[in-house]
Structure 1
Amino acid sequence: MWCIVRGNVYKMEIAGFIGAFLMGLSLGLVGSGGSILTVPILVYLFYIDTLIATTYSLFIVGITSLVGATVRAGAGNIHWPATLVFGIPSLTAVYLTRSFLLPLIPPVIFQLGDFILTKSLFLLLLFAVLMLIASFFMVRDQEETTEENTTLGSTSYNLFSLSIKGILAGCITGLLGAGGGFLIIPALVLMANLPMKKAVGTSLVIITANSFMGFWRDYQLHELIDWRFLVYFSTIAITGILTGSSIAHKISGERLKPIFGYFILLMGAFIIFKELFLR
């Protein structure tokens, strides 16, 4: 019996590391969608508590996005003015959310009969809802700007809207440990008039900064971190993003994005169903 249980654990771990590679691959190919899988992988395949999983996710997403951003920077696919306009409000939102909003959520939010909505369950359900929203952004058709030389924020309205979207993306990263590329990339394309390649590269820089800010703010949880596991997981994710970046010019990210979107939709629906009806 022990051998069977241990064998199942190994199978789950293998599936988890495969998921780490796919997460990085998604980031490398389409610039979004991958990081939103990190927390579910950590929770369901490695049995890590949701709150700790968000801290792990911030490091994993941050280091993976840093590698991807470095590759994109070498190809000149980062728009630094857009990075500042979007990134500064976003970075501030991450810090404030992780410092003040997250600690305000009580360990037990409410109880109704046998159902107890704990902080961990609330974050997991919120994450599942975020996955459903992300799948919508990834599945729907998006217009791709083809101009190579564009200017940031032709109107003050676009600049203001871009900053607001930055704050929203920062709150998502701070609360749930997700990169928010599904939100950042459309904002950069539609509001900053960036071509898709530059939007993806710029998004990776913003995600890197946001993730590391959130992870640094969780310094009180660092003593609970299994650093060996975190290095293993991150290394596999980095391998995925390098693979995705190397073949991105051969495979259309826009064609792959709906496939990732439908997969995330199924994952989000599964989490909601499992946590509400199979507990």
Structure 2
Amino acid sequence: MILALIGALLIGLSLGLLGSGGSILTVPVLVYLLGEPPKQAIAESLLIVGGIALLGAIPYALRGLVDWRNVLFFGLPGMAGTYLGAWLSRFVSGEVQLLTFAMVMLLAAYSMARPTPLSSAKRASRKAWKVVLDGLAVGALTGFVGVGGGFLIVPALVLLGGLPMHLAVGTSLLIIALKSFTGFYKYLHLLPQYGLGVDYPVALLFIAVGTLGSFWGGRLAVRLPQESLRRGFALFLVVMGVFILGQNLVQGH
């Protein structure tokens, strides 16, 4: 359990520093350190990450570091996409979800490792319908594999929306919270079909520890070089993605 609590702290730290990565850490911690079934872990991941992200977004919102236009056009369609993704998950096994999850981790690693061009030129606002489609797509992925999608949201807000990194992080946290709670609501109705339920004491403990990590990460974020953090996190994602792929391939034989 000590290792799991350290994992919870790292989940919050990642969200506070980068506005992403929390759920990519949560599912492996719940599955491999606490031994939970994949579908239960994915459901609890959505609750845990949603709670940490919501509480972590409050300091950003108070400092005016939330772009409400993107919350509206990206976050609300993302909630619908998340519900759809959670509904689709009923047609596949937990092992298929974990394999998809591992592939998403490797995609996230590539996204995080790419250098972020910092152009001083003023970017035009992305058209609303394109932002809506982005939100739907990321939301569907969120519901299907239990990820908050911050690793896709942050680059989209920075590269496509032209937001500064800290504004993108604050906005991402609020969008993650909206989408995660929507996906969790759907999983509440799916878990009984598998004889599973949510372990609320564990989830609440993770939220409490993770929120501390999130506040700590938010303070560190303004002092540490973002590119180095992103690349270090990308390396960690590659290791975890390969580990999960290996575990599933071994169990499949």
What's the TM-score, normalizing by structure 2? 0.92
How much has 1:247 moved relative to structure 2? 1.9
Pairing 1:79–2:57 present:
no
Deviation of the 1:33 alpha carbon: 1.8
Q: Equivalent residue for 2:42?
A: 54
Q: Take 2:243 and 2:85, find their aligned partners in 1: how far apart are those partners? A: 27
Q: Counterpart in 1 of 2:203?
A: 230
Amino acid at match of 1:217: K
Matched residue, 2:228: 255
User: 2:96 aligned to 122, 131, 140, which one?
Assistant: 122
Partners of 1:194 and 1:18 lie apart in 2 by 32
Runs of 4+ off more than 4 Å: none
Aligned-pair CA distance for 1:278: 5.5
Alignment of structure 1 residues 91-130 onto 2, 5 Å: 91-99=79-87, 101-105=88-92, 119-130=93-104
Query: Is residue 115 of structure 2 the alignment partner of residue 141 of structure 1?
Result: yes
Q: Which amino acid aligns with 1:132?
A: L
Matched, 1:152 2:125: yes
Which string of whole-angstrom CA distances, capped at 9 and with x for unpartnered residues, describes residues 117-172 of structure 1?
xx11111111111100000011111123557x87632xx3xx33322221111011
- Following superposition, the deviation at residue 42 of structure 1 comes to 0.4
Q: C-alpha displacement at 1:20, in angstroms?
A: 1.0
User: How far did 1:34 drift?
Assistant: 2.7
In 1: Cα distance, 2:75 partner to 2:188 partner: 22
- Matched-pair contact (CA < 8 Å) for 1:58–1:215: yes
In the alignment, is the contact (CA less than 8 A) between 2:76 and 2:178 conserved in 1? no
Task: Give yes or no for the alignment of 1:178 onto 2:147.
Answer: yes
Aligned to 1:240: 213
In the other structure, the counterpart of 1:22 is 10
Instruction: Show structure 1 runs of 5+ residues with no match.
Output: 1-12, 106-118
Number of residues of Structure 1 aligned to a counterpart in Structure 2: 248
Deviation readout 1:71-91 (Å, 9 max, x if unpaired): 111111111011111112211
TM-score by length of 1: 0.84
* Secondary structure of 1:193's aligned partner: coil
Aligned to 2:57: 69
Instruction: Give structure 2 stretches of 5+ with no counterpart.
Output: none
| Counterpart secondary structure, 2:224 | coil
Percent of aligned pairs with the same amino acid? 40
CA distance in 2, matches of 1:145, 1:42: 39
Structure 1 residues 96-115: Cα deviation after superposition (integer angstroms, max 9, x where no partner): 2223x12233xxxxxxxxxx
Q: Distance in 2 between matches of 1:79 and 1:133?
A: 26
Question: Within the alignment, does 1:161 sit opposite 2:148 as a pair?
Answer: no
User: Structure 2 vs 1, CA of residues 217 and 278 (structure 1 numbering), >3 Å: closer, same or farther?
Assistant: closer
SS in 1 for 2:5: helix
Q: Distance in 2 between matches of 1:278 and 1:95?
A: 30
Q: Which amino acid aligns with 1:104?
A: F
Aligned partners of 2:21 and 2:150 also within 8 Å:
yes
